[in-house]
Amino acid sequence: MNTSIFIAPVPQSSGHPAKDLAHRDLLSIQDLLPEEVRALLDLTALIKARPADFRGALSGKQVVMFFEKPSLRTRLTFEAGLQSLGGQAIFVDQTRSRLDERESLSDIAHNLERWVDCVILRTFDHVTVTGMAEHASIPVINALSDLEHPCQALADFFTLEEKFDDIAKVTLAYVGDGNNVAHSLMLMTASLGAKIRIATPKGYEPLGEVVRAAKKIAASTGAIISVSNDPIAAVTDADAIYTDVWASMGQEQEAQQRAQIFEPFQVNEKLMAHAASHALFMHCLPAHRGDEVTDAVIDSPQSVVFDQAENRLHIQKAILLMLLGGGLRRFRPRSTNA
């Protein structure tokens, strides 16, 4: 993982959460105040229950998607979601070259802001996402970077809210690599006042900067966040168990070494037995069956992995509506000086 990270400044609310989000970027869960996270989840529930009410809501809006990594759920849910809202998605495959290989991010951004209404990026380096947001005067959405996966975490907690009455009483255990998914889950937990226990092998913990940022938010919401190297302690009596692949895209050369290190963190029936009897199993997918999770767990009635995948569609629609539905595109004024 690239350890150069961006910790977002805490946004300041000036009115209704939905209005405040118009024309903003979504690079990190930290870009959202707790009340804005709540507004997004509430809008998602409405969209899912009454999709016909939102047909044509983004008519005429165009979004460009640059993906440096392969994708199934992220690409299709953004494309299908935008089309159902009346907009159009333009996909650019960057899997053979990085986005800024041919020209600078600044030049790319200043082109894009004159053509489209929003940029969606799925990148390796988080600095690509922040760089685009710095230079573009249109909203930028992080569809995955090495630091965070905010859209996934929003869908995950929407799924948890569907399954449990009170999210503040839910204890989520995350077992595996302290990666981008773990980071966003911690920040979501903090925003919603829930509880999360992260368990990773030694040396694979979440970045300290992100843990501190999450705990800072938690201090005002009552959330509880803990990080350890003990998977059994993490899952004991937990309401949901979450895992991710042991070697993410770009870490394939480490896969064999990681498989040995992470073996005690496999989510199997023995580990699940320590959780609450009603515990759910969660995974952002794709899953490496037989590595981080066994077939017996991911295919069990406790598994909600396909509910999570479905909810990516609904949360993506809510994000697009909040960022694009508030008015016309804004452009940064140009200097007339020579």
Residue 138 has pLDDT above 60, yes or no: yes
d(CA 99, CA 101): 6
Give the CATH fold of the 152-310 domain: Rossmann fold (3.40.50)
Instruction: Verify whether residue 284 is a known catalytic residue.
Output: yes
Q: 75-106: string of b/e by CB count within 10 Å (b at 16+)?
A: bebbbebbebbebbbeeeebeeeebbeeeebe
8 vs 84, residue with greater confidence: 84
Give this prediction's pTM.
0.91
pLDDT at residue 325, as a whole number? 81
Within 13 Å, how many C-alpha atoms sit on residue 146's CB side?
A: 17
Residue 239 has pLDDT above 80, yes or no: yes
pLDDT band at 20 (very low <50, low <70, confident <90, very high): low
- Interval 27-49 mean pLDDT: 96
- Interval 253-273 mean pLDDT: 95
In the chain, % of residues over pLDDT 90: 86
Instruction: Verify whether residue 50 is a known catalytic residue.
Output: no
CB 247 within 8 A of CB 221: no
- pLDDT, tens digit, 9 for 90 and up, residues 112-123: 999 999 999 999
Q: Where are the alpha helices (DSSP H) in the chain?
A: 17-21, 34-49, 73-84, 105-112, 126-135, 150-163, 180-192, 208-221, 231-235, 255-262, 269-272, 295-298, 305-324
Residue 318 has pLDDT above 50, yes or no: yes
Give the CATH fold of the 17-148+312-324 domain: Rossmann fold (3.40.50)
pLDDT at residue 21, as a whole number? 79
Residue of 118, 244, 283, 316 with catalytic role:
244
pLDDT at residue 5, as a whole number? 43
- Interval 221-250 mean pLDDT: 95
pLDDT at residue 32, as a whole number? 96
Closest Cα partner for 304 from 235, 242, 244?
Answer: 242
Q: List all residues 6 or more positions away from 22 whose beta carbon is below 8 Å from its beta carbon.
A: 322, 323, 324, 325, 326, 327
pLDDT band at 169 (very low <50, low <70, confident <90, very high): very high
Residue of 73, 126, 197, 312 with catalytic role:
312
- pLDDT, tens digit, 9 for 90 and up, residues 271-317: 999 999 999 999 999 999 999 999 999 999 999 999 999 999 999 99
pLDDT at residue 278, as a whole number? 98
Instruction: Verify whether residue 114 is a known catalytic residue.
Output: no
3-class DSSP string for 159-200: HHHHHCCCHHHCEEEEECCCCHHHHHHHHHHHHHCCEEEEEC
pLDDT band at 331 (very low <50, low <70, confident <90, very high): very low
Residue of 284, 291, 308, 314 with catalytic role:
284
Residue 148 has pLDDT above 70, yes or no: yes
Closest Cα partner for 159 from 282, 285, 319?
Answer: 282
Region(s) of the chain under CATH 3.40.50.1370: 17-148+312-324, 152-310
pLDDT at residue 9, as a whole number? 46
- Interval 219-239 mean pLDDT: 98
pLDDT band at 17 (very low <50, low <70, confident <90, very high): low
Residue 328 has pLDDT above 70, yes or no: no
CB atoms within 10 A of CB 143: 27
- pLDDT, tens digit, 9 for 90 and up, residues 180-227: 999 999 999 999 999 999 999 999 999 999 999 999 999 999 999 999
- Interval 129-149 mean pLDDT: 97
Residue of 23, 73, 75, 122 with catalytic role:
122
- Interval 137-161 mean pLDDT: 98
pLDDT band at 104 (very low <50, low <70, confident <90, very high): very high
Identify the residue whose tokens are 């399954």. 163
Instruction: Verify whether residue 75 is a known catalytic residue.
Output: no
Residue of 135, 149, 183, 258 with catalytic role:
149
DSSP secondary-structure letter at 26?
Answer: B
Q: List all residues 6 or more positions away from 129 whose beta carbon is below 8 Å from its beta carbon.
A: 27, 121, 123, 140, 142, 145
Instruction: Verify whether residue 312 is a known catalytic residue.
Output: yes
